[in-house]
Amino acid sequence: MITAKDIAGHLQLPLTGEDILIECYAQLSDPKPNSVVFAKKYSDEYADRLNGCDRILAIVTPDYAGKLKCNYIVSSNPRLDYIRLLSRFFAPQKPKGFIHPSAVIEEGAVIGKDVFIGAGCYVSSQSRVGDGCVLHPRVVLDNTVSLGKNCEIKSGAVLGQEGFGFERDSDGNPVHFPHFGDVVVGNNVFIGSNTTVERATLGSTVIEDDVKIDDLVQIGHNTRIGKGSMVTVGAIVCGGAVLQPQSYLAPNVSVKEKVTVGRGGFVGLGAVVLKDVPDEAVVAGVPAKEINRNK
């Protein structure tokens, strides 16, 4: 049983109104009795809708304070606090301590505690999977891949295979550059479905702690994705590129090889990044050009 006070206590924020029973979550457009909703911006329409609801808890901005008849919690970031309460009270617990019989774990692989490895996964003999990791069905960890703690890798992701590195010989024929490096993934990293992370030619491809990578992303050899960065769907990060911590790539961005996106940089939808992006810069376009600064 979950109550409004339970949620307020978890968020460490005061509750205005009654301590009602909370049975479900709901959208602001379709609130239900005994549900919890959020409003990340103020409007009279939203306020009227909330005031017309019975037995509801709303997570709202300070603009709503004193204007609501329903039960509410004032938050400086309602969406973030809504995520926090959903994760604590409603989200299903990730499975732990299970390896599907169809998974192939080669001798020599190191598997940590409370790890879930789904159907059809492959983990090479030189790979390491940290405590609490979740590998959804058909994940491949090939050659030498090291996962930190509490990583989640979605279905179809492939980490550690060789990249597309060729040099033409005197006859113009492409000759493949053998890859001898590895992939190093930090703690609390999320990697989406059908994403590829190439092993380094020499050295390491590195994904630092708390990085979140979406579905259908290509991470080239010898790249470094800095702590807390986010790379969204369809992005391509070419070999040797660097994303400094807290950077963000919008959908379908391409980053040229050996280019650096600075700390806190924001690259807009579909941009093609051909030169370094300064810290905190917002860039967009083809080729990408600076249009603003975050700070």
Using alpha carbons only, what angle is made at residue 133 by residues 130 and 138, rounded to the nearest 5 degrees?
115
CA distance 153 to 189: 8
136 carries an active-site annotation: no
* Beta bridge partners of residue 183, listed in sequence order: 145, 205
241-279 residues labelled b (16+ CB within 10 A) or e (exposed): bbbbbbbbbbeebbbbeebbbbbbbbbbebbebeeebeb
Could you say which of 10, 136, 179, 221 is catalytic?
221
* HEC secondary structure over the chain: CEEHHHHHHHHCCCEECCCCEECEECCCCCCCCCEEEEECCCCHHHHHHHHCCCCEEEEECHHHCCCCCCEEEECCCHHHHHHHHHHHHCCCCCCCCEECCCCEECCCCEECCCCEECCCCEECCCCEECCCCEECCCCEECCCEEECCCCEECCCCEECCCCCCEEECCCCCEEECCCCCEEEECCCCEECCCCEECCCCCCEEEECCCCEECCCCEECCCCEECCCCEECCCCEECCCCEECCCCEECCCCEECCCCEECCCCEECCCCEECCCECCCEEEECCCCEEEEECC
What positions carry a catalytic annotation? 221
